[in-house]
Copies of this chain bind each other. A is one copy, B any other.
Amino acid sequence: MAASAQARLARRSPRAATVFAALGDRTRLALVTRLCDGSRCSIAQLSDGQPLTRQAISKHLRVLEDAQIVRSERAGRENLYVLNPQPIADLGNYIELVSSQWDAALSRLKAFVEE
């Protein structure tokens, strides 16, 4: 089944790479951390306390939205952002595949050494 697992990993690669890349930044990771308690926050709220311009935060939110890690919803004059945990959960599956592949390799090695 090794080939099948590799194929599954490869098939998920493009999408996974986008999500990984979106999370590969401190500021964006902080935004995700802030949003993962389920709160809906405006850009002004999210940039409050951060040592960056509101525009910078806005750009980061767009990156997260492109990766579908976050959804935005207009409410009057403000734009509310909510986390969408699905893509991140999918990464969890990806990671589990990698880990299981590695564990299987370890088992084979162990069996080989012990025989």
Contacts and interface: CB of A to CB of B under 8 A. Distances in A.
A70 to B, nearest CB: 12
A10 B31 CA distance: 10
Given A26-B17, A29-B13, A85 B109 contact: no
A89 B85 contact: no
Contacts of A26: 13-14, 17
Query: In the complex this chain forms, how many copies of it are found?
Result: 2
Interface stretch (A41-49, A51-59, A98-106): A98-106
Interface in A55-100: 83, 85, 88-89, 91-92, 95-96, 98-99
Interface string A7-34: 0011001101110111111100110111
Which of the listed residues A21, A22, A26, A36 has the most CB atoms from chain B within 10 Å of its own CB?
A36
Interface of A: 2, 6, 9-10, 13-14, 16-18, 20-26, 29-30, 32-34, 36-39, 83, 85, 88-89, 91-92, 95-96, 98-99, 101-102, 104-106, 108-109
B95 A88 contact: yes
